[in-house]
Amino acid sequence: MPKVLISDKMDPKAAQIFRARGVEVDEITGKTPEELKAIIGQYDGLAIRSATKVTQEILDAATNLKVVGRAGIGVDNVDIPAASAKGVVVMNTPFGNSITTAEHAIALMFALARQLPEADASTQAGKWEKNRFMGVELTNKTLGLVGAGNIGSIVADRARGLKMKVVAYDPFLTPERAIELGIEKADLDTLLSRADFITLHTPLTDQTRNILSAENLAKTKKGVRIINCARGGLIDEAALKAGLDSGHIAGAALDVFVTEPAKENGLFGTPNFVSTPHLGASTTEAQVNVAIQVAEQMADYLVNGGVTNALNMPSLSAEEAPKLKPYMALAETLGSLIGQLAHGPLSTISIEVEGAAADLNMKPITGAVLAGLMRVYSDTVNMVNAPFLARERGLDVREVRHDREGDYHTLVRVTVKTEAGERSVAGTLFGNAAPRLIELFGIKVEADLEGHMLYVVNEDAPGFIGRIGTTLGEAGVNIGTFHLGRRSAGGEAVLLLSVDEPVSPELVAKVRVLPGVKTAMALSF
Ligand X SMILES: O=C(O)[C@H](O)COP(=O)(O)O
Active site (catalytic) residues = 231, 260, 278
Q: Which does 255 bind (CB under 5 to 8 A by kind): ligand X, ligand NAD, none?
A: ligand NAD
- The CA-CA-CA angle for residues 13, 21, 56, to 5°, reads 75
| Cα distance between residue 144 and residue 165, in whole Å | 9
In the complex with ligand X, the residue whose CB is nearer, 73 or 426, is 73
Beta carbon nearer to ligand X, 289 or 382: 289
Binding to ligand NAD (CB under 6 A) within 249-268 occurs at 255-256
Closest approach of ligand NAD to the CB of residue 226, in Å:
15
Per partner kind, with CB cut-offs from 5 to 8 A, the member of ligand X, ligand NAD, none near residue 123 is: none
Residue count at the site for ligand X (CB under 6 A)? 10
User: Tell me, what DSSP letter sits at residue 168?
Assistant: E
Q: Are 89 and 388 in contact (CB under 8 A)?
A: no
Q: Which is nearer to ligand NAD, 97 or 333 (CB)?
A: 97
What residue 150 binds from ligand X, ligand NAD, none (CB within 5 to 8 A, per partner kind)? ligand NAD
CA distance 424 to 426: 7
Nearer to ligand X among residue 68 and residue 383 (C-beta)? 68
Quick note: the x/- pattern for ligand NAD over 119-158, rule CB under 6 A, is: ---------------------------xxxxxxx------
Measured CA distances, 226 to 112, 120, 390, 490 (Å): 9, 20, 44, 82
Interaction between residue 233 and ligand X (CB under 6 A) = no
Task: Please tell me whether residue 280 binds ligand X under the rule CB under 6 A.
Answer: yes
CA distance 58 to 32: 11
Strand order in the sheet with 452-459: 479-486, 492-499, 452-459, 517-524
Min CB(95)–ligand X separation in Å: 10
Q: Is 207 in the site for ligand NAD (CB under 6 A)?
A: yes
Nearest Cα neighbor of 66 from 302, 320, 256, 352 is 302
97 binds ligand X (CB under 6 A): yes
Question: Contact with ligand NAD (CB under 6 A): which of 66, 231, 241, 423?
Answer: 231
Q: How far apart are CA 519 and CA 225, in angstroms?
A: 76
Looking at the Cβ atoms of 85 and 145, the one nearer to ligand NAD is: 145
Helices H, strands E: what count in the chain? 17, 22
Candidates 70-78, 116-124, 368-376, 468-476: pick the segment binding ligand X (CB under 6 A).
Answer: 70-78
Q: Which of 420, 400, 427, 425 is nearest to 347 (CA)?
A: 420
Q: How far is CA 432 from the centre of its chain?
A: 29
Binding mask 396-435 for ligand NAD (x = CB under 6 A): ----------------------------------------
Interface with ligand NAD, residue 49, by CB under 6 A: no
Start-to-end Cα distance in the chain: 25
Q: In terms of CB distance, is 94 or 305 closer to ligand NAD?
A: 94
- Which residue of the chain is nearest ligand NAD when measured via CB? 149
Evaluate whether 69 touches 47 at the Cβ level (below 8 Å): yes
- Chain residue at closest Cβ approach to ligand X: 72
Exactly one of 5, 15, 59, 73 binds ligand X (CB under 6 A); that residue is: 73
Site string for ligand NAD, 75-104 (x = CB under 6 A): -------------------x--xx--x---
Instruction: Report residue 373: phi and psi, to 5°.
Output: -65, -45
Among ligand NAD, ligand X, none, what binds residue 49 when CB lies within 5 to 8 Å by partner kind? ligand X
Q: How far is the CB of 360 from ligand X (least distance, A)?
A: 32
User: Diameter of the chain by CA atoms?
Assistant: 108
| CA torsion, ordered 144, 148, 150, 154, to nearest 10 deg | 40
Residue selected from 171, 322, 473, 515 as contacting ligand NAD according to rule CB under 6 A: 171
The CB-of-97 to ligand X minimum distance in angstroms stands at: 5
Q: Cβ of residue 511: shortest distance to ligand X, in angstroms?
A: 60
- Give the helix/strand (H/E) hosting 426: strand 421-430
Cβ at position 177, least distance to ligand NAD in Å = 9
CA distance 48 to 8: 5
Quote the Cα angle for 221-217-253, to 5°.
Answer: 90
CA distances for 274 relative to 32, 139, 225, 227, angstroms: 30, 21, 11, 9
Binding site for ligand X (CB under 6 A): 49-50, 72-74, 97, 278, 280-282
Chain residues that interact with ligand NAD, rule: CB under 6 A: 73-74, 94, 97-98, 101, 146-152, 169-172, 201-203, 205, 207-208, 229-231, 255-256, 278, 280-281
